Amino acid sequence: MPTTPFSTALRLLAVLFLAGLVIACTSSRNKLPPAELQTRITEGGLKLFELSSPMQARPMTLPNGNPRQQRPVNDDRKMQKHMQDMLDEVMEQTGYCRSGYVLLGRYAGETTRRVRGECRDRATEEDRQKFPDSIERW
């Protein structure tokens, strides 16, 4: 089938549109900073932690226009699973809780989500040097 100038221009336009779409989707301006691990080691060797992660701002207004209606429960479960996965990854990378941990609480504000917990192992002298107290208030 012969190509016409119109079909060539249409193909070029389609390629440019797709390239623009890819660039827009991979833009770094919408990326959130990584999760932050804060630690506290007590005199007795108890290792506490708090992992906080910023949340993407999203409108609370649902299609029916009611701004006071809460997010679906399914969204909260996805967020909790995401935080759990991040926590597991951070613990694996840092080695802070070598024998696992116990979650003490989950907190969700408008801009930040946090989980707090306690390691199952006690602190060593190496832990005290590697993980300074960075939690201001517990």
pTM: 0.65
* Contact status, residue 78 vs residue 92, Cβ threshold 8 Å: no
Interior/surface letters 98-114, b for 16+ CB within 10 angstroms, e for the rest: eeebeeeeeeeeeeebb
| CA separation for the pair 26, 70 (Å, rounded) | 29
Residue 43 pLDDT > 90: yes
In this prediction, residue 3 carries a pLDDT of: 63
Residue 18 pLDDT > 70: no
| CA separation for the pair 22, 65 (Å, rounded) | 31
